[in-house]
Chains A and B, each alone.
Chain A
């Protein structure tokens, strides 16, 4: 099956610093990637939809200037948490949808745990 990777798998940073998380589709091309955030004991909440070569679409309540998304190629999307604060600590999960015809399955990465001290 299709594989989506994330890097790093976990990261600890100081308050006020920025952190970049990478999401890669390893064996397929993804025109569209999605970023989710999950707080402890909760479900996944959609943050934004990222389309290759264009600006991301953010969900209501998600600050686009704080969570910078770049989808520069068909196999890579990045999420940068700028000026991170402890309340940004969460499990960030990306998902990619194949560009191939006749398929619309979303494949999920293993997640990145961010802890902001």
Chain B
């Protein structure tokens, strides 16, 4: 089992602020996925990072995969209340292996 640590666990910020959340492991991942889950809904895939050092941007969200492919970060610029949710990372697996999530970072953006 690949142990994932996400930090911080909880984050409450004001609208307009920037933030970074982290996903770390001692294991090397072939690729990693970030999801966002809003209250009362299922998780929605945001991005998959594959290459060490890769940076992907999704509007105000910037995802980075560590050079050694053991860690990843998500940076949100000018956070908005719509960014509120649970951010989850999971190593991407193939075949019949299921996604196993970290504990997540629960973000609250206050207007």
Contact = CB atoms under 8 A, between A and B. Distances in A.
Interface in B49-95: 86, 88, 92-95
B interface secondary structure, majority: loop
Nearest to A48: B98
A34 B98 contact: yes
Given A43-B88, A43-B102, A43-B104, A111 B96 contact: no
Contacts of B40: 91, 111, 113
Chain A's interface size range is 20 to 34
B74 to A, nearest CB: 15
Given A93-B42, A111-B41, A51 B96 contact: yes
Contacts of A97: 96
B101 A49 contact: no
Contacts, number: 47
Interface in A26-60: 31-32, 34, 41-44, 46, 49, 51
Contacts of A46: 98-100
Interface in B6-62: 37, 40-45
A104 B93 contact: yes
Nearest to A33: B98
A108 B44 contact: yes
Contact of A49 (B45, B98, B102, B104): B98
Contact of A95 (B41, B86, B92, B99): B99
B102 A108 contact: no
Given A32-B96, A34-B98, A44-B37, 13 more contacts: A43-B103, A43-B104, A44-B101, A46-B99, A49-B98, A51-B96, A93-B43, A97-B96, A104-B94, A104-B95, A106-B98, A106-B99, A108-B42
Nearest 4 A-B pairs (CB), nearest first?
A108-B42, A104-B94, A43-B104, A34-B98
Interface of A: 4, 31-32, 34, 41-44, 46, 49, 51, 91, 93, 95, 97, 104-106, 108-111, 113
Interface of B: 37, 40-45, 86, 88, 92-96, 98-104, 106
